[in-house]
Amino acid sequence: MTTTDSLSLPQGRGSLPFIDARHPATPLEINYYRPARHGPDDEVVFVQHGMMRNGDDYRDFWIDAADKHNLLIVAPTFGTTHFRGAEGYNNGLVLSREGVVAPQQDWLYAIPARIVAALRAGGTTRRERVKIYGHSAGGQFLHRLLATQAEHPFEAATAGNPGWYTLPTLARPFPEGLGGLGLGEEALARWLAFPMTILAGDQDIAESDPNLPANPEALAQGPHRFARSRYMLDFAMAEAARLGVPCNWQRIVVPGVGHDGAAMSRATAGLWFEGRLPGPDVLRPGAQDTTRW
């Protein structure tokens, strides 16, 4: 297969294949939405889907915001045919089944930056920095991306309702921590300094959800996703103090919202482009009708 070094996205709603140079036999799908007035200097938002690998739905969650704020929405979709299980998405293909660490450029966390480069090469955007949001399994993918990659080309990042977290420590092995990956304290300091937002729905408190990670390392972070978000921030603040470096993370609670990818998308759009959380009339389930798409 020929790799996708240049990617031009037309106006409207659609999808195109993307073949990453480091994974030429396992193509991704780029689900996108580009308003008619969007130009190459306008904002770009990457959206990382959840465990259902439904990048088309997550793209659609953002269409109203895209039209309102003139945003290009790019939802890289890691299908289950080629990227299986948590190891093939959430955990980034970092470790083989035998526990061998893959070369860093083969980690899936490096792919979004290469998609940005392809969009620039194709003339879709001239922007050097983009925003990135991930929900649930996508929130796991996103915060591990920030932990293991240079912050460029991302200027803002929001992880919504991850099931559990990779902690900013070298003392615990990946994916519980960053130990064993060849990273050092400078990588921890870089991650802690990045202005990452942990977005937590205060009703994401189910303890018996079959999709809630229940491995011992996850349970040690709390009984449900909402509690685990607090654990993550507290751990990060303590680790930053130990290292004597700043922690620029924040945790924002979304009232009345549970494990709802659409509502958390609307919350993120409100914070980024209107400077506030939307009201309950916008955040309630079903407030955005995507059936027209």
Residue range 18-57, pLDDT digits in tens: 999 999 999 999 999 999 999 999 999 999 999 999 999 9
The residues spanned by each domain of the chain are 12-283
pTM over 0.85: yes
| CATH class of residue range 12-283 | alpha beta
pLDDT tens digits, 85-95:
999 999 999 99
- In sequence order, the 6+-apart residues with CB closer than 8 A to the CB of 42 are 70, 71, 72, 125, 127
In angstroms, the CA 59 to CA 133 distance is 11
| The pLDDT of residue 291 is above 70 | no
What count of other Cβ atoms lies within 10 Å of the Cβ of residue 18? 20
Confidence at residue 288, expressed as pLDDT on a 0 to 100 scale: 57
Confidence at residue 97, expressed as pLDDT on a 0 to 100 scale: 87
Confidence at residue 287, expressed as pLDDT on a 0 to 100 scale: 66
What's the gap between Cα 7 and its chain centre? 21
Confidence at residue 200, expressed as pLDDT on a 0 to 100 scale: 98
pLDDT tens digits, 143-160:
999 999 988 899 999 999
| The pLDDT of residue 293 is above 70 | no
What's the burial of 67, exposed, middle or buried (CB within 10 Å: 0-12/13-18/19+)? middle
